[in-house]
C-alpha cells in the first residue's frame, strides 16, 4: 500500500469526524479499535506498510504516519476527558443541593402519656423508699389466682374476665395474660426476706366491655410493704403522700371499704371527679358518684404472709394495686380512657 501525504490529511479528517460523533464509552472504544487497534487498526496497517514504500518516500511516509497516529491518540485522550467531564457535570447538576430550600422537619418522639404517668408514680414511691421490680405478663394461674386466695369458683376466673393462653397442661389451661399485678406480691415474697418495699408496674389484660373508665388492656402498679409492725395507717399515709405528690394538696381523696380475697381489711381509694366536681348525676366519668376509683388496697392477708414462709404474728404488710390510666385521666382531665390506645397523634402529641 502506498499512501501519499495529502491522503493522510483526508484520513485524519475522516477519523476525527468519526470520533466527534462517538458519544459514549462503547462508541469511543469501537472507534479506537477501528483506527488504533493493534491487530487490524487502520493506522497500524499504515505503519506496517512503511517498509513497503519506495526508498525515496519511505522516510516522509513514516513520519506522516507516526504524526497521524500521535494526532489520533491525542484526540482520543481529549475525547475521553471531555466525556468524563460531561458526566461529572451532569451528576453535579442532578445532585445539586439547593441550600435555600427550607429544612425538612424531623418530629421529635416523646413518651406515651401513660408511660410518663407511670414513671412519675414510680418516682413518687421511690422517694418513699419503694424499689421497682417487674414480673411476667404471661402468668401462671397459680400466681394470678390460687396464691392470691382467689378460689376456683371466683367470678374473676371466668372466661368472661380472663384471657387464657390456649396451652393445656394436665387437660387444663394454666397460663393467662395476668389480670392484675397482684401475683407479684407472692413472687417477691418468695425470693426475699422482710423488710420489703417494692412497686411492680406492668400491663394487665381483662375481657372487659370498654367505657370511659375501662379498657381491656390496663396498666397497674402493685405496691407491697412487709415488715414488723406495718399498719393500716402506714398504708393510708403512703397513699396520701402519693396523691399529694401527683395531684396537689387541694385534691380530695376518699377511702371506702372493699373486698379483695388477698387482703384483710380491704379498701378502695378514689379521687374527686375533675369533670363534674360531684355535681353531675349524668357524668360519664364518675357515673354521678363524684369519685373516681384509682386503686384497691389493704393489709396483706396473714395466710399469704404464712405461705411465704414468714411468721404472721411477727410480720404484717400492706399492698395496693393502682390503675395508671386512671391516674393519667385525673391529672390531665381527660374524659375518656379509650383515647390512650387509639394511636391518634392529635391526642398523643398534646402531652
Ligand atoms: C385489682 O386488680 C387488685 N389486684 C388491686 C389490689 C391490689 C387490691 C393489692 C388490694 C391489694 P381492681 O380490679 O379493682 O383490683 O383494679 C385495681 C385498679 O385498676 C382499679 O382501681 C382501677 O384503677 C384499675 N382498673 C381496673 N380495671 C380497669 C379497666 N378495665 N380499665 C382501666 N383501669 C382499670
Q: What is the pLDDT of residues 121-169, one digit of tens each?
A: 999 999 999 999 999 999 999 999 999 999 888 877 776 689 999 989 9
Give 169-175 contacts, CB < 8 A, sequence gap 24+: 173/141, 174/140, 174/141, 174/142, 175/138, 175/139, 175/140, 175/141
Assigned C-alpha cell, 226: 412487709
CA–centroid distance, residue 350 to ligand 1 (Å): 26
Ligand 1 pocket, residue 264 CB under 6 Å: no
Flag whether pLDDT at 3 surpasses 60: no
Active site residue 180: yes
Ligand 1 pocket, residue 220 CB under 6 Å: yes
Residues forming a β-bridge with 199: 132, 223
The closest residue, in CA terms, to atom 27 on ligand 1 is 214
Mean pLDDT of the chain: 91
Mean predicted confidence (pLDDT) in 271-287 = 80
Alpha-helical regions (H) of the chain: 5-21, 25-36, 42-48, 55-94, 113-127, 141-144, 183-191, 232-247, 302-307, 324-332, 345-348
Q: What percent of the chain has pLDDT over 70?
A: 97
Active site residue 160: yes
Ligand 1 pocket, residue 182 CB under 6 Å: yes
State the pTM of this model.
0.73
Flag whether pLDDT at 32 surpasses 60: yes
Active site residue 319: yes
267 φ, ψ (degrees, to nearest 5): -140, 165
**Predicted local distance difference test score (pLDDT) of residue 160:** 63
The closest residue, in CA terms, to atom 21 on ligand 1 is 295
Flag whether pLDDT at 171 surpasses 80: yes
Q: What angle do CA 95, 98, 99 make, to 5 degrees?
A: 130
Estimate the share of the chain in helix, then strand, then coil, as percent rounded to the nearest 5: 45, 20, 35
Q: Evaluate whether 302 touches 312 at the Cβ level (below 8 Å).
A: yes
Sign of CA dihedral 48, 51, 54, 56: positive
The closest residue, in CA terms, to atom 32 on ligand 1 is 214
Assigned C-alpha cell, 11: 484520513
CA distance 269 to 296: 6
Q: Evaluate whether 175 touches 202 at the Cβ level (below 8 Å).
A: no
Assigned C-alpha cell, 131: 424499689
Candidate from 206, 220, 285 with most ligand 1 atoms within 8 A of CB, to mutate: 220
Q: How confident is the model at residue 230 (pLDDT cuts 50, 70, 90)?
A: very high
Assigned C-alpha cell, 240: 396520701
Active site residue 140: no
Q: How confident is the model at residue 241 (pLDDT cuts 50, 70, 90)?
A: very high
Amino acid at each position: 500500500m502506498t499512501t501519499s501525504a495529502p491522503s493522510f490529511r483526508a484520513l485524519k479528517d475522516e477519523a476525527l469526524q468519526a470520533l466527534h460523533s462517538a458519544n459514549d464509552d462503547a462508541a469511543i472504544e469501537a472507534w479506537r479499535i477501528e483506527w488504533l487497534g493493534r491487530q487490524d487498526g487502520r493506522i497500524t496497517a499504515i505503519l506496517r506498510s512503511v517498509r513497503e514504500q519506495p526508498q525515496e518516500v519511505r522516510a516522509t511516509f513514516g513520519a506522516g504516519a507516526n504524526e497521524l497516529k500521535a494526532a489520533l491518540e491525542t484526540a482520543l485522550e481529549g475525547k475521553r476527558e471531555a466525556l468524563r467531564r460531561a458526566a461529572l457535570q451532569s451528576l453535579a447538576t442532578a445532585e445539586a443541593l439547593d441550600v435555600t430550600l427550607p429544612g425538612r422537619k424531623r418530629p421529635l418522639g416523646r413518651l406515651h402519656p401513660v408511660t410518663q404517668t407511670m414513671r412519675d408514680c414510680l418516682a413518687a414511691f421511690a422517694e418513699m423508699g419503694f424499689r421497682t421490680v417487674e414480673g411476667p405478663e404471661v402468668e401462671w394461674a397459680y400466681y394470678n389466682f390460687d396464691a392470691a386466695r382467689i378460689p376456683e369458683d371466683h367470678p374473676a376466673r371466668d372466661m368472661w374476665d380472663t384471657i387464657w393462653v390456649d396451652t393445656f397442661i394436665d387437660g387444663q389451661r394454666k397460663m393467662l395474660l395476668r389480670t392484675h399485678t397482684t401475683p407479684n406480691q407472692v413472687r417477691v415474697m418468695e425470693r426475699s426476706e422482710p423488710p420489703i418495699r417494692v412497686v411492680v408496674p406492668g400491663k394487665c389484660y381483662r375481657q372487659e366491655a370498654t367505657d370511659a373508665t375501662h379498657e381491656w388492656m390496663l396498666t397497674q402498679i402493685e405496691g407491697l410493704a412487709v415488715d414488723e409492725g406495718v399498719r393500716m395507717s402506714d398504708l393510708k399515709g403512703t397513699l396520701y403522700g402519693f396523691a399529694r405528690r401527683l395531684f396537689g394538696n387541694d385534691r380530695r381523696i376518699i377511702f371506702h371499704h372493699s373486698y379483695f380475697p388477698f387482703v384483710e381489711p380491704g379498701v378502695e381509694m378514689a379521687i374527686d371527679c375533675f369533670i363534674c366536681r360531684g355535681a353531675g348525676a349524668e357524668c360519664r366519668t364518675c357515673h354521678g358518684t363524684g369519685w373516681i376509683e384509682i386503686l384497691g388496697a389493704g393489709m396483706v392477708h396473714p395466710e399469704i404472709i404464712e405461705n411465704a414462709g414468714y411468721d404472721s404474728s411477727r410480720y404484717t404488710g400492706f399492698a395496693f394495686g393502682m390503675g395508671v390510666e386512671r391516674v393519667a385521666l385525673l391529672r390531665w382531665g381527660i374524659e375518656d380512657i379509650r383515647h390512650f390506645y387509639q394511636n391518634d397523634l392529635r391526642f398523643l402529641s398534646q402531652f
